[in-house]
């Protein structure tokens, strides 16, 4: 009887990528909470942007990213697809922060999370792990 669990078979590249994706989700959810607090305080002009709407959008979008990161940490394959899409969507944001927005520090910090996560999600160990479900039982 094998004693391996999905978590023990999960390569470290997947777990580190999952940790980075969880970090992204936690930061975005934290910013959503900040937006609600700022909008609720009344000291913020809601005519330019709606703090409640931003918080809702961030919670929905990055709630999924957070769930994907947790899934990767637990060894669930479905988390990888959501994490890859999130990283690919965040790459232009990093580029914009580094160039047009002149927010070099924020762009560099975000890039230090997004780029390694994307590299880890496409690493050979990760792709072998993902393909392991498609190997016939007699070849395992």
Return the pLDDT at 1.
47
Return the pLDDT at 43.
73
Instruction: Tell me how far the alpha carbon of residue 55 is from its chain's centroid.
Output: 17
Is pLDDT above 70 for 57? yes
Return the pLDDT at 8.
55
What average pLDDT score do residues 10-28 get? 97
How many CB atoms sit inside 10 A of residue 8's CB?
9
Is pLDDT above 60 for 35? yes
Looking up tokens 């969507």 gives 89
| Dihedral over alpha carbons 16, 22, 25, 31 (to 10 degrees) | -100
Looking up tokens 């590249």 gives 13
| Confidence grade of residue 127 (pLDDT, cut at 50, 70, 90) | very high
């Amino acid at each position: 009887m094998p004693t391996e669990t999905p978590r023990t078979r999960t390569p470290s590249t997947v777990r580190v990528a999952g940790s980075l994706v969880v970090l992204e989700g936690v930061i975005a959810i934290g910013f959503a909470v900040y937006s609600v607090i700022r909008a609720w305080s009344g000291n913020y002009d809601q005519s330019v942007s709606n703090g409640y709407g931003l918080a809702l959008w961030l919670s929905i979008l990055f709630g999924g990213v957070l769930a994907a990161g947790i899934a990767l940490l637990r060894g669930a394959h479905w988390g990888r697809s959501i994490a890859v899409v999130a990283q690919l969507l965040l790459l232009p944001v990093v580029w914009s922060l580094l160039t047009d927005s002149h927010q070099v520090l924020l762009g560099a910090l975000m890039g230090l999370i997004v780029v390694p996560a994307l590299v880890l999600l496409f690493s050979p160990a990760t792709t072998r792990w993902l393909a392991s479900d498609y190997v016939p039982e007699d070849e395992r």
